[in-house]
Amino acid sequence: MAEIRVVHYLNQFFGQIGGEEKADITPFSQEGPVGPGTALQKELASDIKIVGTVICGDTYFNENIEAAADKITSLVAGFKPDLLIAGPAFNAGRYGMACGAVCKAVQEKLNIPVVTGMYEENPGADMYKKDVYIVKTGNSAAQMRKAIPALAKLAMRLVRGEALGSSAEEGYLARGVRKNVFHKQRGSARAVEMLLQKIKGETFATEYPMPVFDRVSPRPAIKDLSKAKLALVTSGGIVPKGNPDHIESSSASKFGRYDITGVNDLTKETYETAHGGYDPIYANEDADRVLPVDVLRQLEKEKAIGSLHNFYYATVGNGTSIANAKKYAHAIGEELKKEKVAGIILTST
Amino acid sequence: MVKELEDVVDVPVVHICTVVPISLTVGANRIDPAVAIPHPLGNPKLSPDEEFALRRHIVENALRALTTDVSEQTVFEMP
């Protein structure tokens, strides 16, 4: 049987070059397996050989994503591989981003199966799980001994062209691909069975896990609105015309803070929406439809509220991860706390 | 974002949003339902004056939420 050729992608640390001080190294390749590649080789069948390893610094990669991915793809191609394995990256964010990006680029340009492994919360997982197979690993390299066999197993199935089962069955991160399958028992029967198990307090397995959201305790009501300073925040992407901070239309990487001192009304000449997740036509005509500055200024004039804070905050909620949304809100919150704001209105579309 | 702001600033936060079930699932404590996704606080079918009045209604409802004590998640339907 012809040998199956594999290339392994590693960062500077696992590639045995060095730590953070070497995170800026540019991509290069060498023959055979390196570092964890040796353990990986042992888990692969005898006809599957790691013929080469490509190594790149995590910082270099993330600061030069396109150029690095291109260079790495060429280096990978030089080995004439049948399969690429990257990482595992565990929870290392830059490494996970690199593994995901390299896998995606190689998959697209070289048209060979690719696979990587990382922890669920790795930003690379969020970014690339829909594009490439990512084996679920623990959150640190202390779990290397479990991650390597899992990675090898999925890699072998992929390169042999075997049909894969669900993410739960095969141990990869759910890609959000829904596949219709025939179940021997029909849905209504399964639903009733599950409900009965739930009622009886027995354990049951959901067919569709809901993401878990935590709760916060509701704060006490404002006692005197006429003395209250209120702040406006929006995830609807309302920004000054021209989007000066270039807030992205999806997967926003930042939020903006905008001065509305003396602004009593948002107009189509002065404001727009940056949000790519809803039809912008109405918000572009009149941004008050998403960020009600005009009404709040009116209420301020009538002394129904103490004041409208002269700065509003905006980001784009489209495709923004929970983690990022929380991060931006945390930073915004720290600023509003200093301003002694009494209440906040957050608008979303 | 609503929850993080409430926790960090330690003041009531009201979420004016269109897709209330999402806000509920995520855990906002005070929710003020809005009109539509592309214009939560507006309605282009109305005249400018009518639209302003509608927007004012929704905002006043939000203020009602901010001045009402709640012990659990509460959707403040328009009265």
Q: Do A326 and B13 touch (CB under 8 A)?
A: no
Residues A11, A124 within the same domain? yes
How close is the nearest chain B Cα to the Cα of A135, in Å?
Answer: 27
Choose among A223, A230, A283: nearest Cβ to B39.
A283
Judged on CB neighbours under 10 Å (0-12, 13-18, 19+), A133 is: buried
pLDDT of residue A305: 98
User: Measured between beta carbons, which residues in chain A are less than 8 angstroms from residue B62?
Assistant: 345
How close is the nearest chain A Cα to the Cα of B8, in Å?
Answer: 5
- Pick the residue from chain B with its C-alpha nearest to A330: B4
Q: Is the model's pLDDT at A233 over the cut of 90?
A: yes
Residues A129, A11 within the same domain? yes
Any residues with CB less than 8 A from the CB of A257 and at least 6 apart, and which? A311, A312, A313, A332, A335
Under the banding of pLDDT at 50, 70 and 90, the label for residue A297 is very high
Under the banding of pLDDT at 50, 70 and 90, the label for residue A207 is confident
Q: Do A343 and B66 touch (CB under 8 A)?
A: yes
Choose among A216, A221, A346: nearest Cβ to B68.
A221
The answer to whether residue A239 sits within a structural domain is: yes
- pLDDT (mean) for A241-257: 93
Choose among A282, A328, A345: nearest Cβ to B39.
A282
Which residues on neighbouring strands pair with residue A232, listed in sequence order?
A345
Residues A14, A158 within the same domain? yes
Residues A165, A310 within the same domain? no
d(CA A29, CA B77): 62
Domain boundary among A170, A187, A202: A170
pLDDT of residue A214: 78
Residues A246, A163 within the same domain? no
The answer to whether residue A191 sits within a structural domain is: no
Residues A166, A230 within the same domain? no
- pLDDT (mean) for A122-128: 83
Any residues with CB less than 8 A from the CB of A224 and at least 6 apart, and which? none
Domain count for chain A, please give it: 2
Residues A119, A233 within the same domain? no
CATH number at residue A136: 3.40.50.2300
For the beta carbon of residue A137, count every other beta carbon within 10 angstroms: 28
The answer to whether residue A201 sits within a structural domain is: no
Chains A and B form CB pairs within 8 A to the count of: 179
Q: Is the model's pLDDT at A221 over the cut of 60?
A: yes
The answer to whether residue A238 sits within a structural domain is: yes
Residues A164, A234 within the same domain? no
Domain boundary among A124, A154, A170: A170
Q: Do A288 and B41 touch (CB under 8 A)?
A: yes
Domain of A249 in residue numbering reads as 225-347
Q: Is the model's pLDDT at B22 over the cut of 80?
A: no
Per-residue model confidence as pLDDT tens digits over B29-74: 999 999 988 899 999 999 999 999 999 999 999 999 999 999 999 9
pLDDT of residue A197: 95
User: Measured between beta carbons, which residues in chain B are less than 8 angstroms from residue A342?
Assistant: 11
Under the banding of pLDDT at 50, 70 and 90, the label for residue A130 is confident
User: Measured between beta carbons, which residues in chain A are less than 8 angstroms from residue B39?
Assistant: 282-283, 289-290
The 3-state DSSP class for residue A30 equals strand
Domain boundary among A145, A170, A195: A170
In percent, the amount of chain A with pLDDT more than 90 equals: 75
Per-residue model confidence as pLDDT tens digits over A23-72: 889 999 999 999 999 999 999 999 999 999 999 998 888 878 889 999 99
pLDDT of residue A211: 66
Q: Is the model's pLDDT at A1 over the cut of 60?
A: no
Contact B67, B13 (CB under 8 A): no
User: Measured between beta carbons, which residues in chain B are less than 8 angstroms from residue A329?
Assistant: 1-5, 8
pLDDT of residue A277: 65
How close is the nearest chain B Cα to the Cα of A24, in Å?
Answer: 35
Any residues with CB less than 8 A from the CB of B48 and at least 6 apart, and which? none
Q: Do A326 and B66 touch (CB under 8 A)?
A: no
Residues A161, A242 within the same domain? no
pTM of the model: 0.57
User: Measured between beta carbons, which residues in chain B are less than 8 angstroms from residue A217?
Assistant: 29
Determine which of A257, A278, A291, A348 to mutate to test the interface with B (most B C-beta atoms within 10 Å).
A348
The answer to whether residue A198 sits within a structural domain is: no
The answer to whether residue A124 sits within a structural domain is: yes
- pLDDT (mean) for A197-202: 95
User: Measured between beta carbons, which residues in chain B are less than 8 angstroms from residue A214?
Assistant: 3, 27
User: Out of A47-51, A110-114, A228-232, B15-19, which region has the weakest mean confidence (pLDDT)?
Assistant: B15-19
Q: Do B66 and A298 touch (CB under 8 A)?
A: no
Q: Do B12 and A295 touch (CB under 8 A)?
A: no
- pLDDT (mean) for A6-15: 97
Choose among B40, B51, B66: nearest Cβ to A347.
B40
Residues A17, A166 within the same domain? yes
User: Out of A261-265, A278-282, B68-72, which region has the weakest mean confidence (pLDDT)?
Assistant: A278-282
Q: Is the model's pLDDT at A165 over the cut of 60?
A: yes
ipTM score: 0.98
CA dihedral B27, B33, B38, B42 (to 10 degrees): -150
Residues A230, A294 within the same domain? yes
Task: Give the pairing of strands B13-17 and A307-308.
Answer: unpaired
Q: Do B13 and A219 touch (CB under 8 A)?
A: yes
The closest alpha carbon to A69, from A82, A80, A84, belongs to A84
pLDDT of residue A319: 61
- pLDDT (mean) for A179-194: 91
- Mean of pLDDT over chain A: 93
d(CA A228, CA B11): 11
Q: Is the model's pLDDT at A178 over the cut of 80?
A: no
Choose among A278, A332, A344: nearest Cβ to B11.
A344
In percent, the amount of chain A with pLDDT more than 70 equals: 98
More confident residue, A49 or A124: A49
* Amino acid of residue A273: T
User: Out of A2-6, A134-138, A257-261, B19-23, which region has the weakest mean confidence (pLDDT)?
Assistant: B19-23
The answer to whether residue A96 sits within a structural domain is: yes
Judged on CB neighbours under 10 Å (0-12, 13-18, 19+), B64 is: middle
How close is the nearest chain A Cα to the Cα of B19, in Å?
Answer: 7
The answer to whether residue A175 sits within a structural domain is: no
Element (H, E) at B74: strand B74-75
Choose among A225, A283, A317: nearest Cβ to B67.
A225
User: Measured between beta carbons, which residues in chain B are less than 8 angstroms from residue A230?
Assistant: 66
Q: Is the model's pLDDT at A315 over the cut of 90?
A: yes
Residues A157, A237 within the same domain? no
User: Measured between beta carbons, which residues in chain A are less than 8 angstroms from residue B67?
Assistant: 221-223, 225
How close is the nearest chain A Cα to the Cα of B34, in Å?
Answer: 8
Q: Is the model's pLDDT at A85 over the cut of 70?
A: yes
More confident residue, A314 or A207: A314
pLDDT of residue A168: 83
